[in-house]
């Protein structure tokens, strides 16, 4: 990998833009879906063992 200080300003700008787009369009949405999905899965598993919330029927 090249040292960022040795790159021309145009090259550095291109790399930064590509990295930003990767993070904003791909990485963060995938992480958000994984986080929400894992939370929902953990609640589902918890309720499988303890029953649904609320007063007993």
Hey, where are the domains in the chain?
A: 4-50
* Stated pTM of the model: 0.71
What is the pLDDT, as a whole number, of residue 2? 64
Are 15 and 7 a contacting pair, CB within 8 Å? yes
Give the distance from CA 32 to its chain's centroid: 4
pLDDT at 7: 85
> Does residue 11 have a pLDDT over 90?
yes
For residue 11, what are its two tokens?
């090259």
Instruction: Inform me whether the pLDDT recorded for 13 exceeds 90.
Output: yes
């Amino acid at each position: 990998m090249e040292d960022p200080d040795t790159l021309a300003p145009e090259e550095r700008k291109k790399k930064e833009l590509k990295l930003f787009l990767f993070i904003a369009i791909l990485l963060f949405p995938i992480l958000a879906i994984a986080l929400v999905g894992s939370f929902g899965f953990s609640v589902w598993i918890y309720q499988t063992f303890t029953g649904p919330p609320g007063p007993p029927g």
